[in-house]
Amino acid sequence: MPFNIITGDITKVSADAIVNAANSSLLGGGGVDGAIHRGAGSGLLDECRTLGGCKTGQAKVTKGYKLPCKYIIHTVGPVWQGGEKGESELLRSCYDNSLELAKQKGCESIAFPLISSGVYGYPKDKALQVAVNSIREFLKDNDMDVTMVLYTKSTFTMDGGLFKSIRDYISTNRDQPAAAKANSFMLGAAKACGAKGSAPGMRMAAKETTYMEMAEECACEPAQSLDQFVMSHDESFSQSLLRLIDESGMSDVQTYRKANIDRKLFSKIRSDVNYRPKKQTVIAFALALELDLEGTGKLLAKAGYTLSDSLKFDLIVKYFIMHKNYDVFEINQALFAFDQSLIGC
């Protein structure tokens, strides 16, 4: 996917370019800087000696040497001094300049550490937000796979209030008791038949009543024949998606970039009327199109999926849609915090 968050060792990540959180001398140091120099070998230090250092917020590029990348982009992050010394602007420049250098070198993929969040003391949640804002803006106009590599999960933090709100929503809505689910089913069946819970023949209070019995008692005459039903529901996922994009007024490019979807995958969907996407891909497009829960459910159904209150991933997605927050980048941060798969291809 165009933007991804993972945990691991950045020196082991295969990408066209990896970013080094360097010091101004570019001659190596501790943390990520030291690990990259050790992994690349002595040739990296020899080349860095020719670069004349680097100013805070700027970036310079070298070859990748023994690392699994073509290039190493060295950038110098700011030291945290309370947030009133232009730290956010300098940190933003680190990401902006690194992405621009990668683009100039023709890179299709780049991996970042969380710059300045180690010994330089930049608060991790604030550092991540600066990173995401820069990457989001870059990907609006550019096709590149960008990966944020966190050394451990403890490196990641998100807004405590938002985390608690999502956690409470999951706790309230996940895994309802069987009796509550049965009651919900029966009430829904009653509505479908135009009946009230107290109507004759509706054994709403009978504990032994099964779902199948309830459905049989409330069976309504079909409004359409089977042939008519199939004919009215024969729009594929691909056809439905392309129609929704046209109706939204967005271009294809705007849509797949907003959805955090790779251009090549979108081309496959467009060219294959019977393409079967992953569930995360369908949800990505639903968010990009800013569909409500009903619209999201309809698009998912075209690919054979549904949103379930038994799945934490689905509940998190529902939480954001209900709050009319369709920002895939922010939603992916929440999914990462709850150890869920991210949205995109």
Q: What is the pLDDT along the chain (345 residues), one digit of tens a residue?
A: 799 999 999 999 999 999 999 999 999 999 999 999 999 999 999 999 999 999 999 999 999 999 999 999 999 999 999 999 999 999 999 999 999 999 999 999 999 999 999 999 999 999 999 999 999 999 999 999 999 999 887 767 777 788 889 999 999 998 654 444 445 444 444 444 444 444 444 433 434 444 344 334 434 344 445 454 444 457 999 999 999 999 999 999 999 999 999 999 999 999 999 999 999 999 999 999 999 999 999 999 999 999 999 999 999 999 999 999 999 999 999 999 999 999 986
Find the helix or strand (DSSP H, E) in which 147 lies: strand 145-150
Q: Which member of 9, 16, 33, 272 is catalytic?
A: 33
Instruction: Please give the pLDDT value at position 160.
Output: 75
What's the sign of the alpha-carbon dihedral 296, 302, 305, 306? positive
Dist CA 173 CA 271 (whole Å): 39
**What are 87's two structure tokens?**
């730290």
At the topology level, CATH places domain 3-157 in Leucine Aminopeptidase, subunit E; domain 1 (3.40.220)
User: Which residue in 301, 302, 338 sits closest to 317, CA to CA?
Assistant: 338
The whole-model pTM stands at 0.80
CB 5 within 8 A of CB 342: yes
What's the sign of the alpha-carbon dihedral 154, 156, 162, 167? negative
Domain with CATH 3.40.220.10 in the chain: 3-157
Dist CA 123 CA 326 (whole Å): 26
CB 115 within 8 A of CB 77: yes
204: number of Cβ within 10 Å: 17
Dist CA 99 CA 97 (whole Å): 5
Dist CA 234 CA 219 (whole Å): 24
**Does the annotation count 33 as an active-site position?**
yes
